[in-house]
Amino acid sequence: MTVLFPPPPVDKAALEGAGAFTPRFDGAGLVTAVVTDIRDGELLMVAHMNAEALRLTLETGIAHYYSRSRAKLWKKGETSGNLQTVHEIRTDCDQDTVWLKVSVSGHDAACHTGRRSCFYRKVKVTEGQPLLEIGDDQRHFDPTMVYSSKSTE
Amino acid sequence: MTVLFPPPPVDKAALEGAGAFTPRFDGAGLVTAVVTDIRDGELLMVAHMNAEALRLTLETGIAHYYSRSRAKLWKKGETSGNLQTVHEIRTDCDQDTVWLKVSVSGHDAACHTGRRSCFYRKVKVTEGQPLLEIGDDQRHFDPTMVYSSKSTE
């Protein structure tokens, strides 16, 4: 059965209440997807979904996104084996973002650099300069072995 | 001292490594901000920041965003008292998203509906229909008492 999304209601109370899930896709047809690990809540990645990706995610229970850089549907983990099984989906008050709680197969990594999370760097300000400090440098896989030169998943 | 952001490097390895924080603002001049509670990691909200909001956040330690609906700088909690003190900022591999770990003052609520988190609804599919179910209906404040008709913070 194909999941279809009704258009968002004009009424704000309807948008913020219970009832139909009416994602507010932006001008590019996308919603933001925040992805956390069901185990401990760690933020793994932030991506985007078009209606097709959101529909496939709901229908299959496996996370699908839309790759803006490659302009196409992206079944996360198809190349690396790091598929994401979706345990829960939530949305926010204005329905332009979804939150996926997932478990990660394969190397237990969500980042194309081989790290568990894409958020492996902390921002620090030193003498007025905003700098990045690597907080997690553990590579769960070798990206050069997993991806071809044209694909980073 | 004013924090300035250098332009993003063309080199992908530089973008993904340690060194300068070079946020990749989109065509509208924004990065995505994911906001979690430092206490337990709960996802509170997702918002956007322009360079000014990001700079003020780094300089003051209090979260500032850019309101797309009102097209202006938004010091979160200025109306409601629910200021967000920032304990840590991270960025992702391609530097177009920041993750703020915050503690919330005032009513301990991030959502304009009065709830702790904007993500108070779960998505369920019932007979092919995507529906929203309210998971958290506890209101930490009464929005009609806190906001004027023109402002939802």
CATH number at residue A60: 3.10.20.810
Q: Which residue of A has its CA nearest to B44?
A: A92
Tell me the C-alpha distance between B55 and B134, whole Å. Answer: 36
Write out the residue range of the structural domain in which residue B60 sits: 29-143
Closest CA to A130 of B91, B97, B14: B91
A118-133 per-residue burial string, b: 16 or more CB within 10 A, e: under 16: bbbbbbeeeeeebebe
| Shortest alpha-carbon distance between residue B80 and chain A (Å) | 17
Residue B79 contacts by C-beta under 8 Å, 6 or more apart in sequence? B146, B147, B148, B151, B153
Q: At residue B131, what are phi and psi to the nearest 5 degrees?
A: -125, 155
Q: Is B118 on the interface with A (CB under 8 A)?
A: yes
Would you say residue A81 lies in a domain?
Answer: yes
Would you say residue A66 lies in a domain?
Answer: yes
Q: Is A38 on the interface with B (CB under 8 A)?
A: no
| Shortest alpha-carbon distance between residue A110 and chain B (Å) | 11
pLDDT at A152 over 90: no
Tell me the C-alpha distance between B47 and B66, whole Å. Answer: 8
Q: Is A14 on the interface with B (CB under 8 A)?
A: no
63-102 of B, contacting A, C-beta below 8 A = 88-94, 97-99
At residue A123, the pLDDT reads 98
User: What is the layout of strands, in order, in the sheet containing B129-134?
Assistant: A19-20, B129-134, B121-126, A84-91, A97-104, A31-37, A43-49
Total residues belonging to chain B: 153
Interchain pair A90, B119: CB under 8 A: yes
Q: What is the pLDDT of residues A71-98, one digit of tens each?
A: 999 999 999 999 999 999 999 999 999 9
- Whether the complex's predicted ipTM surpasses the cut of 0.90: yes
β pairing state of A19-20 and B129-134? antiparallel
Residues of chain B with pLDDT under 50: none
Would you say residue B1 lies in a domain?
Answer: no
Write the residue in B34, B45, B90 that is nearest to A122 by C-beta. B90
Token pair for B110: 């991030």
Would you say residue B44 lies in a domain?
Answer: yes
At residue A33, the pLDDT reads 98
At residue B147, the pLDDT reads 87
Split into its structural domains, chain A has a count of: 1
Q: Which residue has the tokens 């008492």?
A: B145
Interchain pair A90, B34: CB under 8 A: no
Question: A22: burial class by Cβ within 10 Å (0-12, 13-18, 19+)?
Answer: middle
At residue A130, the pLDDT reads 97
Q: At residue A12, what are phi and psi to the nearest 5 degrees?
A: -65, -40
Q: What is the pLDDT of residues A102-114, one digit of tens each?
A: 999 999 999 999 9
pLDDT at A153 over 70: no
Within 10 A of B2 (CB to CB), how many other CB atoms are there?
6
Would you say residue B153 lies in a domain?
Answer: no
Would you say residue B82 lies in a domain?
Answer: yes
Q: What is the pLDDT of residues A10-68, one digit of tens each?
A: 999 999 999 999 999 999 999 999 999 999 999 999 999 999 999 999 999 999 999 99
At residue B148, the pLDDT reads 74
**Binding site feature residues of A for Mg(2+):** 92, 94, 96
Question: A75: burial class by Cβ within 10 Å (0-12, 13-18, 19+)?
Answer: middle
Q: Which residue has the tokens 């990001």?
A: B54
Write the residue in A34, A122, A125 that is nearest to B34 by C-beta. A34
pLDDT at A121 over 60: yes
Tell me the C-alpha distance between A119 and B93, whole Å. Answer: 7
